[in-house]
Chain A
Amino acid sequence: MSGGNQRDGMSPEGSPGFAAGLGASVPVVIGYVPAALAFGVAAKGAGLGTTEALLMSLVVYSGASQFAIVGLVAAGVPWLVTAATALVLGLRHVIYGPSLAPYLRDLTPRRSALAAFGLTDEVFAVAASSLPQRPAGLGWLLGLELGAYASWALGSLLGAAAGDALVEVLPILAPALSFALPALFVALLVPMLRAPARGAGRPIAATVLAAGAVATALHVAGFQAWSIPAAGVAGPAAGLLLSRALADRGRDRR
C-alpha cells in the first residue's frame, strides 16, 4: 500500500476512496451541525424527548421531512396526514440516484441498497459537483455519506439536549448558523458554472436560469414541496433543448 495514496485518501485502484469521501463531507458537516441543532431545539419545543428527536434523525434522515413532522406533531395533526406531508416533501429524492449512477464506477444494484440511504440534498450536491470531473467508487460515496449522517445525528442530539442553553448564551448563533446551508449551495454551484465541459456553457446557463425561475415561482406560490423536483426536470429540459438547437445550427452552417 503506497503512503501517497493513503495520504490522499485514494483507494488502491487510484480512484478516490472512503477517506477522501469522509474528507469531502467536511463542508456538509459545517452546514449540517447548525441545521441539526435547530432541529433538535424545535423538536424539544414541540414536546418530543431527546431520544425521540435523535431517533427521528437516525430513521427519517431528511431535514425537510423532520421539520415538517415537528411542526405537524406540535399542531396535533393526525399521524396519517403528517406522514403523507413528510413523504411529499421527500419527492425530490427520486432524481438524485439516476443522475449520479453513471459516475459511480463500482456501484452495483446490490450495493446501491446501502448507498441510497444517505443520498440527501447536500450529499447529492457535493457528489454532483465532484463526480463528473472525477468519477469515484462506492467507498468515496459511503465516506461522504457517513460524515454527513454522523454530524446530522450528533447535531440533533446536541440541539435536543442543550440547544436552548446554547442559543441563550449566544443569541446571534441561531440566525447566523441558518445561513450555513445557503452558503454551502453557493460553494457547490460556483464551480459548476465556472468550468463547464466544452460547448456546455450556454446549456448549463439555460438550465440554471430555468431551474431558478421554476423553483422561485413554485416556492413563492406556496408549492415548496414541488419546487426542487420541478426545477430538477424543467432546468435540464431547457438546457437540453438549447443544446440541441445549437447543435442543429452548427450542422446547418456546415
Chain B
Amino acid sequence: MSPGLLLLLFLVVGAGNYLMRFLPLLIALRRRERPGQETATTGGLLPLVGPAVVVALLITSLLPGDFAPGYGAELARGAVALVPTVLVALRFGNLGLTVLTGVFAYALVALVA
C-alpha cells in the first residue's frame, strides 16, 4: 500500500472511530439538557453498562484470538495468573499493584509452563 493510501486509511478509520465516540456522547448530553430525561437514563440501564463492558473486555482480553496450536496452554497460563491478580485486587484494591502482580504472575507461569 502506498504511503498516500496508508495516510488516507489512518484518516478514514481515525475519523470513523472519533465519530463513534463523539456522536453518541453528544446525543446523550443534548438529552440530559432536557428536563425529565436524566432520571430515566441514570436510573435504568446506564449504571449497569460499566460492569457489563468491563467483564466483556476482561474475557476478550483473556481468550486467545483463534484456535491455533497452544490455545489451551495459553488459556491455562492466563487462568493461573488470574488467581493472584484477583486476590491482590480483593485484598488491596489498588489498580497499579494489581496490574504489576498480574504481569509478574504471568511471567512466572510462562517461565514454568
Contact = CB atoms under 8 A, between A and B. Distances in A.
Interface of A: 26-27, 30-31, 34, 48, 52, 55-56, 59-62, 65, 69, 73, 79, 82-83, 86-87, 90-102, 107-109, 112-113, 115-117, 119, 121, 124-126, 128-129, 132, 172, 175-194, 197, 200, 203-204, 207-208, 210-212, 214-216, 219-220, 224, 227-228, 231-232, 234-237, 239-240
Interface in B20-68: 20-30, 32-33, 38, 41-42, 44-63, 65
Kindly name the residue among A79, A108, A132, A220 whose own CB sees the greatest number of chain B CB atoms within 10 A: A79
A77 B24 CA distance: 31
Contacts of B23: 94
Contact of B57 (A101, A107, A121, A203): A121
Nearest to B104: A176
B25 A236 contact: no
B45 A91 contact: no
A138 B17 CA distance: 21
Given A179-B81, A203-B48, A239-B48, A208 B21 contact: no
Nearest to B110: A175
Given A101-B25, A180-B103, A186-B82, A128 B49 contact: yes
B60 A98 contact: no
The prevalent SS among residues of A at the interface is: helix
Contacts, number: 288
B54 to A, nearest CB: 5
B44 A240 contact: yes
B93 A55 contact: no
B54 A26 contact: no
A140 B98 CA distance: 22
Contacts of B17: 60-62, 65, 87, 90, 93
